[in-house]
Amino acid sequence: MAKLTESMTNVLEGDSMDQDVESPVAIHQPKLPKQARDDLPRHISRDRTKRKIQRYVRKDGKCNVHHGNVRETYRYLTDIFTTLVDLKWRFNLLIFVMVYTVTWLFFGMIWWLIAYIRGDMDHIEDSSWTPCVTNLNGFVSAFLFSIETETTIGYGYRVITDKCPEGIILLLIQSVLGSIVNAFMVGCMFVKISQPKKRAETLVFSTHAVISMRDGKLCLMFRVGDLRNSHIVEASIRAKLIKSKQTSEGEFIPLNQTDINVGYYTGDDRLFLVSPLIISHEINQQSPFWEISKAQLPKEELEIVVILEGMVEATGMTCQARSSYITSEILWGYRFTPVLTLEDGFYEVDYNSFHETYETSTPSLSAKELAELASRAELPLSWSVSSKLNQHAELETEEEEKNPEEQTERNGDVANLENESKV
């Protein structure tokens, strides 16, 4: 029995140890924000499956960012004018109607209270009684008088008398406050109507960006155009690369923004946008695409945000149009189809071909690899030239060394001839 019990205990202990070994260990991962968890780099994220790239800026220019957990909501009230302008039209119209209705009801209630306290309601049919407001016999008539006073309609049926000092003071207050309300609400509606957001809808960007050779250099290009005959004044273009990165210290920076040079130093970023233009970015050592090849491009998780700014010629207000390109919208080895043709006395733009591209011969190597190949191709030439120069220099030194000996020999022969002649 003792041996049996010992064997049973050994088996149980072995099972328990096996269970301990096979039991999964709970590893607590650090809690990260949702955006950081979604944008972890490939060598950090355990999910190796291909996922859809989340846009930072949509194709129509709207930013795909929602502000959550904003506790200091009072800051919106400190800038109430901008808050009202930013509201949607249905809420703006609702607030517009509610503000006027509330002010009319508020002052109508005060006019009715003044008439009720003075006893005007009890002397409606008494012709010898001088009321505060003539022909005011209830709350409805007081409400109508409030509307006439604030909107300065003045039908003439209800009139304030000079025997009511409190009514005169209330009339002054309502006139001043009514003017303030009118200025605020009408100004808000005017600014909202004249916003240049709709003007940005007639500024178009190509659906794809392309990468091809231009003047012997690898370039990233996209096209912009203006559909209206009224032009954008002082138009300028900017581009940003949105890509998460990890620093050498291990810090993860989600959606890091890097400038893409589209002609800032040469002035090419300032546009005369009369016809569609192709914006070009030269991929050089300062470019974020310096080490990206055709095979590596689909594996990158990046987004290019382009921003076109300028003033509307008709109103003088600043207008901004935005768009973006993800890796699947960047075509390697393509160019844009020309859209400008010369007609009889004018130039015509064919917007049917605005988004069209055609394939062209483009190396699939990155700009860095192309530069290395070009440098290697130039090295033998430089070596041969330098060797030839060295050989030429050595020949010149050898000739200079031989010349003194020849000169001495010639001088000796001349001296011998002179001695012989003397003898």
DSSP 129-166: ---SBTT--SHHHHHHHHHHHHHT---SSS-B-TT-HH
Question: Over pLDDT 90: what percentage of the chain?
Answer: 46
pLDDT band at 399 (very low <50, low <70, confident <90, very high): low
Same domain, 187 and 269: no
Whether residue 58 is contained in a domain is answered as no
Same domain, 96 and 142: yes
Same domain, 365 and 259: yes
Structure pTM?
A: 0.65
CATH number for the domain that contains residue 292:
2.60.40.1400
Same domain, 130 and 175: yes
pLDDT band at 418 (very low <50, low <70, confident <90, very high): very low
Whether residue 114 is contained in a domain is answered as yes
Same domain, 124 and 265: no
The DSSP letter of residue 329 is G
Q: Summarize pLDDT for 65-121 with one digit per residue, the tens.
A: 888 887 777 777 778 888 888 888 899 999 999 999 999 999 999 999 999 998 888
pLDDT of residue 197: 77
pLDDT of residue 269: 92
pLDDT of residue 155: 81
pLDDT of residue 397: 57
Same domain, 125 and 215: no
With tokens 């005169």, the residue in question is 168
Q: Is the pLDDT of residue 415 over 70?
A: no
Whether residue 393 is contained in a domain is answered as no
Q: Is the pLDDT of residue 180 over 50?
A: yes
Question: Among residues 194, 210, 244, which one ends one of the domains?
Answer: 194
CATH number for the domain that contains residue 181:
1.10.287.70
For residues 47-72, one letter each, b for 16 or more C-beta atoms within 10 angstroms of the residue's C-beta and e for the rest, the string is eeeeeeeebbbeeebeeeeeeeeeee
Range 229-244 average pLDDT = 92
Whether residue 348 is contained in a domain is answered as yes
Q: Is the pLDDT of residue 33 over 50?
A: no
Residues in the chain: 423
Q: Is the pLDDT of residue 417 over 80?
A: no
Same domain, 277 and 353: yes
Q: Summarize pLDDT for 124-138 with one digit per residue, the tens.
A: 878 888 888 888 888
Whether residue 25 is contained in a domain is answered as no
Same domain, 169 and 235: no
Whether residue 15 is contained in a domain is answered as no
Same domain, 189 and 214: no
Whether residue 63 is contained in a domain is answered as no
Which has more pLDDT, 38 or 373?
Answer: 373
Question: Among residues 194, 212, 228, which one ends one of the domains?
Answer: 194
pLDDT of residue 203: 93
Q: Is the pLDDT of residue 300 over 70?
A: yes
pLDDT of residue 30: 44
Q: Is the pLDDT of residue 47 over 90?
A: no
Range 37-64 average pLDDT = 64
Question: Containing domain of residue 352, as a range?
Answer: 199-370
Question: Among residues 343, 370, 397, which one ends one of the domains?
Answer: 370
- State whether residue 50 is helix, strand or coil: coil
pLDDT band at 200 (very low <50, low <70, confident <90, very high): confident
Same domain, 146 and 218: no
Tally of structural domains, the chain: 2
Same domain, 187 and 203: no
Whether residue 93 is contained in a domain is answered as yes
Same domain, 182 and 203: no
CA dist 132 to 121, 126, 157, 190, Å? Answer: 11, 14, 14, 38
